[in-house]
Amino acid sequence: MNARAKGIAKFTYKLKSNGAGYLFMLPWMIGFAVFMAFPIGWSLYLTFQKVGLTGTGFKYKYIGLQNFKDALLKDNEFTIQLLVFLQQMIFMIPIIIIFSLCVSILLNQRFPGRFLFRAIFFLPVIFSTGQVLTELFQQGAGDVPFIAQYGIDTYVSDHFSASMAEPILNILGMMILILWSSGVQILIFIAGFQTISNSIYEAVRIDGASPWTSFWKITLPGIKPFIGLNLLYTMVDLFTFPFNPIMEQIKKNMFSITTGYGYASAIAWLYFLLIMILIGLIMLFLNSSNKAGRA
Amino acid sequence: MKTEAVVRRYSRQVRSLVIGRRAQRAKLVVLGQHANEGLLAKAFIYFMLSIIAYLYLQPFFYMISTMLKGLADLLDPTVKWIPRTVDWNNLSRAFDGLKYPRSFFNSLLLAGGGSLLQVFVCAMTGFALARLQFPGKKLFFALVFLTFLIPPQVIMIPLFVTFSKLGWLNTPFVFLVPALFGQGIKSALFIIIFRQFFHSLPKALEEAAMIDGASMFRLFFRIMLPLASSACLVVFLFSFIWYWNESYLTSMFLSNDFTPLSNKLSNLEATIFGDNPSMAVMSQNPVTEGTKMAGAFLIVFPPLVLYMIAQRWFVQGIERTGLVD
């Protein structure tokens, strides 16, 4: 009896202490199940189906990997757009990271009025909503004014092959709108600089290091984890970048009679796989930088 | 004679010494003790930052300038930034075209309601992940992080079907209900922010509360949540902005009837001119550029005002909440 009472007491105690944790997590857990796990599973299921609409509801037909095959081999729009987007991303991510690093270095110096500049560089986060950006781009307000002035665009189209020149020109055309998505990254870098203590800079200065060398030897290794963080954030931010062509593709195929939900899901999953590979590479970079920091 | 010469020589030396020191001091002021101090470095920083800031804000200036141009100024290539006559018609036309009061209210309901729910639920989840012990905590945190990495494209189709079956399409529920269950826009980021914040609080706080007989819920609502008010504010502001600017999911779920401001711009022309095909050709011309920019300005204006009021929290928010540690 005694042992049993003890067992019950132990059980209720555990229930109580764990219960509080689960209770606090409950809304999120429900949300995760309903709005995340279930849609992911369903979406994965849809990729192997041909979904037809009937009067009463959906009609599923298992077609195996046909959707993926169609997307990669038959669809002459999706693969090209995926490649174009990949090309864009390869240009855009370094641009954003390097730009935000440069600006954050400048903003990290001590001078009067730097809060004003900080406010300016964060401003685009406030008003970069999809349709406004698209409209600005369409009216040609997104390019850097001196690109056409100094003939950089003709230089690019003369010196690169057509397949290379096009994405570069495209990027140049919306240069500023790309830079606009670096507001949060700048703040993360500035916060990253605060983690390197001032005494290290003093020490290397006494040892005769110039600011140039101290940047390469102290600052850059010190903020390597933040570069990784920013890479990750930029990637995730580009999911819903208004010029991301995959969004339009999915929407178009969803409501098309010939392709439908199944095919659209397959496209989304291919895109997801591509992203996951890139994120995996970033994570690898992050991990190795963490280990190097500890050693 | 001799003494005079000596005095003269010494005075010259002294003078050169003084001048030398002055020159040194001047050099110190201009160049600074280190390369990143001193006037020259400051001038360089200001110069660089001003140029970058000008380029950076140029689309915004373009928006305002184009918005105030009349048709004559728009067609005249000699008018670049400052219109000859300020034309307020664009603004009023865009105001009507966007159905501004109603769309504004829709956006406000989504952004305000969504953010309030988001703050509350993310604080709860972050608190549990930071301060409570229960099996599977690490797994849950990994799952939270995972939700950050899932592109909305992947889950959008099932959500669309579910919402349409529930009859929630074109109602605010499509955003408010996920927010209530911690799956709002970028909620994973906010949960991580709260988790970091609650991590940094001393353990003695909850021990003291427990000894005084407070329950976990009392501890959370009476002690932890008030302490986290700064984190709450930061999360609310960011969440508000991101809800307000959301245009991808809204274009899927709220395509007609309950349309927020962020989706009104693309069919501004249609609302102004009707579906007249000859007018569709007109849209290629710069005729509607001014009106569209006015519409864009009206869309970004409310968050801009919010930013002007709460700028401090936005800019310092990320540092203060310790997201980056």
A22, A113, A210: residue with CB nearest B134: A22
> Residue B1 domain-assigned?
no
Work out how many CB contacts closer than 8 A connect A with B.
Answer: 257
3-state SS string over chain B?
CHHHHHHHHHHHHHHHHHHHHHHHHHHHHHHCCCCCCHHHHHHHHHHHHHHHHHHHHHHHHHHHHHHCECHHHHHCCCCCCCCCCECCHHHHHHHHHCCHHHHHHHHHHHHHHHHHHHHHHHHHHHHHHHHCCCCCHHHHHHHHHHHHHCCHHHHHHHHHHHHHHHCCCCCCHHHHHHHHCCCCCCHHHHHHHHHHHHHHCCCHHHHHHHHCCCCHHHHHHHHHHHHCHHHHHHHHHHHHHHHHHCCHHHHHHCCCCCCCHHHCCCCHHHHHHCCCHHHHHHCCCHHHHHHHHHHHHHHHHHHHHHHHHHHHHHHHHHHHCCCCC
Q: How confident is the model at residue A292 (pLDDT cuts 50, 70, 90)?
A: low
The mean pLDDT of chain A is 80
pLDDT of residue A295: 41
B151, B181, B241: residue with CB nearest A275: B151
- Least confident span in A55-59, A77-81, A215-219, B66-70: A55-59
| Min distance B16 CA to chain A CA atoms (Å) | 30
Q: In this predicted model, what pLDDT tens digit does every residue of A66-104 receive, in sequence order?
A: 778 777 777 777 888 888 888 888 888 888 899 899 888
Q: How confident is the model at residue B119 (pLDDT cuts 50, 70, 90)?
A: very high
Q: Is the pLDDT of residue A289 over 70?
A: no
Q: In this predicted model, what pLDDT tens digit does every residue of B309-321 receive, in sequence order?
A: 887 777 666 665 5
Q: In this predicted model, what pLDDT tens digit does every residue of B275-300 receive, in sequence order?
A: 554 555 555 555 677 778 888 888 88
pLDDT of residue A148: 65
> Residue B12 domain-assigned?
no
Q: Do B245 and A115 touch (CB under 8 A)?
A: no
pLDDT of residue B271: 67
Q: Do A22 and B66 touch (CB under 8 A)?
A: no
Q: What percent of chain B has pLDDT over 70?
A: 86
pLDDT of residue A84: 81
> Residue B22 domain-assigned?
no
Q: In this predicted model, what pLDDT tens digit does every residue of A125-149 receive, in sequence order?
A: 887 777 778 777 777 776 666 666 6
Q: How confident is the model at residue B115 (pLDDT cuts 50, 70, 90)?
A: very high
Q: Which of residues 174-213 of A touch B (CB under 8 A)?
A: 176-177, 179-180, 184, 187-188, 190-192, 194-195, 205, 210-211
Segment B80-93 mean pLDDT: 76
pLDDT of residue B325: 46
Segment A248-277 mean pLDDT: 81
Q: What percent of chain B has pLDDT over 90?
A: 6
Can you give the residue range of the structural domain that contains B231? 98-264
> Residue B28 domain-assigned?
no
A25, A117, A141: residue with CB nearest B53: A117
Q: Do A139 and B289 touch (CB under 8 A)?
A: yes
Question: Residue B155 sits in a domain of what CATH number?
Answer: 1.10.3720.10
pLDDT of residue A291: 61
User: In chain A, what are the domains?
Assistant: 71-294 (1.10.3720.10)
pLDDT of residue B123: 92
Domain count along chain B: 1
Contacts of A36 in chain B (CB under 8 A): 147, 150, 155, 183
A215 touches chain B (CB under 8 A): no
> Residue B252 domain-assigned?
yes
pLDDT of residue B122: 92
Q: Please tell me the total number of residues recorded for chain B in this structure.
A: 325
Q: Is the pLDDT of residue A294 over 70?
A: no
Segment B250-276 mean pLDDT: 73
Q: Is the pLDDT of residue B73 over 80?
A: no
> Residue B206 domain-assigned?
yes
Q: Do A139 and B53 touch (CB under 8 A)?
A: no
Q: In this predicted model, what pLDDT tens digit does every residue of A178-190 receive, in sequence order?
A: 888 888 888 888 8
Q: How confident is the model at residue B117 (pLDDT cuts 50, 70, 90)?
A: very high
| Min distance A46 CA to chain B CA atoms (Å) | 9
> Residue B118 domain-assigned?
yes
Place of tokens 């009216």: A139
